Structures are given as C-alpha cells and as structure tokens.
Amino acid sequence: MSLPFSDDLKRPVVALAPMAGITDLPMRDLVAGFGADLVVSEMVASGELLCNRPGTREKAELGLERAATSVQLAGRDPQVMAEAARQIADQGAGVIDINMGCPAKKVTGGLSGSALMRVPDLALRMIDAVANAVDLPVTVKMRLGWDDDSLNAADLARGAQNAGVRMVVVHGRTRCQFYKGAADWAAIARVVDALDIPVLANGDIIDLASARDALALSGAAGIMVGRGIQGQPWLLAQLIAGLDENREGQGVDTPADVPALAAAHYEAMLDFYGPDLGLRVARKQLGWYMDRAGTAPDLRGRILRARTAIEVLDLLPEALDASRTANTKDQDGDLAA
C-alpha cells in the first residue's frame, strides 16, 4: 500500500497537520475536498483506544477508509502502540502516524509526544513495534529535538527510516520552544540530508510565500500546514496550485461565496456532533472565519452567543460578506503551524 500522494513526487506534497480540537472530521473532509494530499486525524491516545470501545462518532472521527487520511497515535509503550495500530488497521485505516511532536505538558508528562525525543531508544523501539505490527505505511511527526542542546531529529529520523517508516514530518522548533519564536526551516535540511524517504517541513506556513520559503530552506519534499488553515480551509488548494510549476499564476482565488462555504462547514459539524454539542464546538471555527472577514464585534458576539443553529445561519451571510473582497488581505497574524 502506498501513501495517498504520488510516489514520484512531481510536485511538493501538501498535507494538513493534526491539531487537537481543530482538525476534526468535518474540517478534514472540507480540506480534503480542496485537494489536500494527506490529512491527519487528531491525536489518538493508544492506551485509551484499547481500554475504551469507540462509539460510532469516535470511530468516524478516525476517518477510517478515507484514502487521504492518516490516523495519528500517541503513546509510550511499544506493545500498546503496536496493538492500537493493529486495531486501527483492521478497521480500515490506510496510514498510521506516530506522534513524537506534541509539546503539550499533559502529553509530554506521560512520556509521549515530543518527550520521546529525550529517550530515543524507547522511541525507536516503539517505531519498530508499530511498523512491524501493520502492513500499512507508517509515518512519524517530530520536532527538531527537546531543546537547543539536544537537536537529534536527524539521528532519530534515520533510525525511523531503518525501521520501515515511509515519511517523516519535522516541525521546525524544539519542544521547549512550544510555538514561540520562528520555525527554523533551514534546520530541517539536516533531516532531509540524512534520509532517503520523503521529509515534510512544518511550522509557520501560512501562505504561498512562506510555503516556498520553507521548501527552499529545508529542501523538503513537501509541507504540512497547521494553524494557517484556520478560517481559510481552501488554503491548501491555493498552495497546491501555486507550487505547481506547470500552472500559471500564483494559485487560486478565495472562494467566491465564503458565507455559503462556512455555512456548509457549520452544518457538517452539527450533523457530526449533534445540535447541542455542535453548536458549542463550532464557535471556534466560526470565530476564525469572522477573523478573516473582519466581522464587526457586535455581530460577531451575536453569532458566538447564539443558542440556535437557525440564528447562526441567518447571521452568517452578513458576518462574512467582507470576505468577498478579502482576497488580497494580509494574512500574517499570529499563526504558527
């Protein structure tokens, strides 16, 4: 089985990063509909997966049987990770990703996520266990290292390649940086030079210019975009078009009817989560759309405080109308993938 993008890599791979509470199934489906090469599920704790029987919605959240979806697992026990990988593979997953990049204290405190970069022997045992447990492509997402004194991404990635990993994604920061400062795309080049498999660059990719810079400085085979998609899920389509040397121009325009797109996204979230939970969960996504559109504060407040979906849908066209003329709006902001 191959990864869901061309093996010959005629153009840079453009993928959506996993983000807890953000890249849920409705968001991933929306981004995948714009042509993303790969989308990754929110992090799944391997131990919890084995201990708790997933319900219908939880199984759907994994995106099983979707060709462009990878399921990301986190954990610290090689055998538990291997068993979780087998379970997900049996349920129809196409790609499994191992989380070695999450910097959150609640994850690293349990020796998962980027904390594994401090114990490379354990990390490599876990990678080997997962790769040997399934007949699926296995990928790894990591950081440059735990801190500036332990920049071991290249060594760890080389060991992962030897264990059978098919692709590595590197966020251009250390764990101790969290999301502060700027992603060091040039430092990712050391990982690229050490491997024969594709490496994707991640961190601070928010538009076509930053995508091109990340590729040029890292030499990576592609990019993985995180929070740059907030409020503009069509961004990956723009990057795919803009990075294609066979296409003229700088990419594709913002969709003409952003209010309708946002309304469809909102309704998909209501369908997935149910009306009550969906109403609450969707507020952050609506907030990002309104950030991009420059929605007036009073109207924004009415939408975010709305108690019914009908009220939200009635107000969205007015709230997001500004986005019709926002194609050239500067998108710098505070975004960091």
Assess contact for 212 and 245: CB atoms under 8 A. Answer: no
**Is residue 249 left, alpha or beta, with left meaning phi > 0 and alpha meaning psi from -120 to 50?**
left
What are the beta bridge partners of residue 139?
97, 167
Mapped onto helix, strand or coil, the DSSP state of residue 130 is helix
Q: Which amino acids are annotated catalytic?
A: 102
Q: What are phi and psi of 18, to 5 degrees?
A: -75, 135
End-to-end CA distance of the chain: 28
**CB under 8 Å to 260, separation ≥6 — which residues?**
none
Q: What is the DSSP string of 199-219?
A: EEEESS--SHHHHHHHHHHH-
Structure tokens at 319: 């709230």
Question: Which of 27, 60, 70, 20 lies closest to 42 in space, CA to CA?
Answer: 20
How many residues appear in the chain?
337
Structure tokens at 248: 């003229």
**Largest Cα span, the chain:** 56
What are the beta bridge partners of residue 97?
72, 139
